[in-house]
Each structure stands twice: as structure tokens, then as C-alpha cells.
Amino acid sequence: MIVRALVAACAFAAVPALANGTNVPPPAAPVAETETDALVRTAFDAPKRISYVGQLQTIRWGNRIANATIQRIEHLAPGRTRRTFLAPEALYGEYDVTVGETTTKIDPRDHRAMVEQNPASENSTATNTSLSLLEANYRAILGPVEVVAARPATTVALVNKYTGERIMKLWIDNDTKIVLAKEAYHADGSLAWRTRFDDIRFTSEIPPDIFSLDTPPGFQSIAGRHFANSTVDEGHALDEAGFKPVIPHYLPNGFSEVGADVATIRTVRNLHVIYSDGIRGLSLFENDTDESANFDGLRPATTHFAGHEATYVRDGPTTLLAWHDHGLAFALVGDLDIRELTQIAISVEP
């Protein structure tokens, strides 16, 4: 532990020197691990202060295939972002603009615009909760400086304190603290998803007009989704459900409830309880229709636990497990593998 702390301290102290391109050895001052936490905390908030224009690559790995996108991103701090898809070809030219809770998605080929509302995208309380959970459940370990998008970036591994597994690695820009790249890993160490800037330029001189949420003239306006506003008042959401809800007795170490809501999805009223460990999210959906989730267009598989037949599917790094029991339909969705989801499902006992 002492050795690791010293290594981390030296690496952290070396960052400014490397960033300036000098060979001066860093002073051997002891740096507590909390400084790495502070770096991550600063990176959390950096987009609220820093504007940029860049090209971002995302890859999500599933069981057999990977999905990739390339997006040009214009971000004007604190809260205006425009993403234009460059790849895959089917999405080329489409873009979306997010300001606060509202996102307008533009399809230039079919001249359509869709407006979505998502309160979660502007929920600073929830963001702080995520940060607190991150610090409680993960050890931030400083790594060497690496170059991303031609800029020196400090690497930070986020290691789960309970399992010792590295769940995420960040590349944080030395000057601005913007996260230039992220990699998330499954429990077995395999890569789950990755985002990485191929190119980035920090500037606040971005024409504000490009962040307009208005439907362009001549475009058909389609009402998009209005996602639920989750609340930390679980009791109230449980009361709103309209049936006697059930919650799991078991959660993986570090996971806590961070919100709950009741949403009507395709005419079915659902209780949605949200859990997180600071990086990974978990959702429990339940309703009293006794109707199974349908998996049209997906590739589901069947599993069995505690006398139940359940169906599950993976969408990139996310797994969905659905079953029903005692007249209630359940679905767990999370950045966890099927083994972990099954353990949670077993503990959901009506």
C-alpha cells in the first residue's frame, strides 16, 4: 500500500512536468490518494467550465459484435451540446442539440425533428450523489501520462474497493481536466465500452445559433419521449405504483438506491427503482400486469433461477433480465453480467 501510494504520488507530481515538456524530475513530495480523488472530482465538473469542439469515437462491445459511432461534438459550457454523427453511414449528418433537460434530434434526410425531455440530464443533485458513491466505492489510482488527441492526459484507474476489479480507466486532459477518453470493463476484465476523442480543440468561440432547439423550417416535428423525473423519495414512488411493490434484499457491494419514479410505458404503469455504485447503474422495473417484456428485434436467451424461467438480453455492455412472479412482471437492467443480475433477481421475493 505504501509503495503504491508513493508510486501514485510520484506519478501525480510528474504530470505538470510532462505536460510542459520538461525533463525536470518532480519534487518527491508525498501526495495523498485524495488528490487523485480531487482530480476525478474536477473532471466530473469540467464540462460546466470548459467549451470545446472535437471528434469523439464510441465503441460498445456486445457478446458477438461491437457498435461504433463517430460524432463531432460542439460543447459550449456550461450546458449546451451539439452532436453530429459522422459514422455509421446510416446516421451520417443526423445531429442532436441538448440544452438543459431538452434534446432536439434532427434527421435532415427525412426532414424530421424530435424533441425529448429528460430531467436526469440536468440533475445536479443526482450528479453529486454519483460522485459521492464513486468516492465511497472506488479507489482512484493514478497512472502514467499518455497522449490522447495529441494532448497529454493523466490516466486514472477506478478500482472497486470490494472486489479489487478495475472497472474504469480515465484519460484526463492535463490542462483542462476534460475527460478525453474512458474505458469501462466487465468484472472479468474484458472491455465493455470505450469513448475517445480523436481530435479536440478548446474554444468558447462557437456560434450560439448552432445550439438552437427550434425545429428547422420545413421539418416535421415529432414529439419525443418525456422521461420520468426520478426522486430520492422512494417511499412516495412506491406509494404511487398502485400495487404492492417488491424491492431486492440483495445488491452487489457498493450499490445504493439513488432514485425512483413511476412511468407509464406503452400504457403500462411501471415502478422504476434506480441503483448505482457511482459508475455502474442498475434499474428495477416492475408492474402488476403479469405481462412479460417482449424482446422483438433483440436476441434474447432463457435462464432459470429459483423456480422461475427468465429471459435476458445483452445490448452492448447492458444486460436486461425479465421474469414474472406472483402476478408481477419484473425487469432488471444494468451494467452487470447475467450472473450478478440473477443473484439480485433471486432476492426479489414477492
Q: Which residue in the set 53, 237, 246, 345 belongs to the binding site for another protein (CB under 8 A)?
A: 237
**For residues 3-62, which are near another protein according to CB under 8 A?**
43-44, 47, 58-60, 62
Task: Output 152 or 278, the one with its CB closest to another protein.
Answer: 278
CB of 29 to another protein, least distance (A): 29
Q: Interaction with another protein in 312-331: which residues (CB under 8 A)?
A: 313, 315-318, 320, 322, 329, 331
- Pick the piece of the chain touching another protein (CB under 8 A) from 15-23, 103-111, 140-148, 206-214: 103-111
**Cα gap 9→93, rounded to integer Å:** 45
Whole-number minimum distance, CB 25 to another protein, in Å? 33
Site for another protein in 135-154 (CB under 8 A): none
CA distance 194 to 169: 9
Strand partners, 183: 169, 194
Q: What are the beta bridge partners of residue 147? A: 152
Angle between helices 124-137 and 34-49 (to 10 degrees): 160
Smallest distance, another protein to C-beta of residue 60, A: 4
Per-residue buried b or exposed e for 318-328, using 16+ beta carbons within 10 Å of the residue's own CB: bbbbbbbbeeb
CB neighbour burial string for 181-191, b if at least 16 within 10 angstroms, e if fewer = bbbbbbeeeee
Shortest Å, Cβ 229 to another protein: 5
Residue 333 found at the interface with another protein (CB under 8 A)? yes
Q: Cβ closer to another protein: 9 or 274?
A: 274
From candidates 230, 252, 255, 288, binder to another protein by CB under 8 A:
230
| Contact call for residue 344 and another protein (CB under 8 A) | no
Q: Choose the binding region for another protein from 5-13, 145-153, 233-241, 339-347 (rule: CB under 8 A).
A: 233-241
Which residue's CB is nearer to another protein, number 64 or number 209? 64
Task: Give how many residues touch another protein by CB under 8 A.
Answer: 102
Strand-pairing partners, residue 105, are: 96, 114
Long-range contacts of 304-309 (CB under 8 A, 24+ apart): 305/342, 305/345, 305/346, 306/345, 306/346, 308/345
Q: 180 or 331: whose CB is closer to another protein?
A: 331
Which of 9, 13, 114, 344 binds another protein (CB under 8 A)? It is: 114
Q: Should residue 134 be labelled a site residue for another protein when binding is judged by CB under 8 A?
A: yes
**Which residues inside 273-302 make contact with another protein, applying CB under 8 A?**
274, 276, 278-281, 283, 285, 287, 289, 291-300
Paired strand residues for 155: 171
Q: In this structure, what DSSP letter does residue 279 have? A: S
Answer for which of 118, 137, 155, 342 binds another protein (CB under 8 A) is 118
Three-class SS of residue 322?
A: strand
Q: Residue 148 or 158: which CB sits closer to another protein?
A: 158
Interactions with another protein, residue window 67-86 (CB under 8 A): 67, 69, 85
Of 309, 311, 291, 310, nearest to 299 by C-alpha is: 311
Does 193 sit near another protein (CB under 8 A)?
yes
Stretch binding another protein (CB under 8 A), from 6-14, 27-35, 72-80, 223-231: 223-231
Phi and psi, residue 113, nearest 5°: -130, 135
Would you mind telling me the total number of residues written for the chain in this entry? Answer: 350
Angle separating helix axes 2-19 and 34-49, nearest 10 degrees: 40
SS3 state at 297: coil
248 binds another protein (CB under 8 A): no
Q: Residue 318 is placed in which grid cell?
A: 447492458
Q: Say whether residue 197 binds another protein (CB under 8 A).
A: no
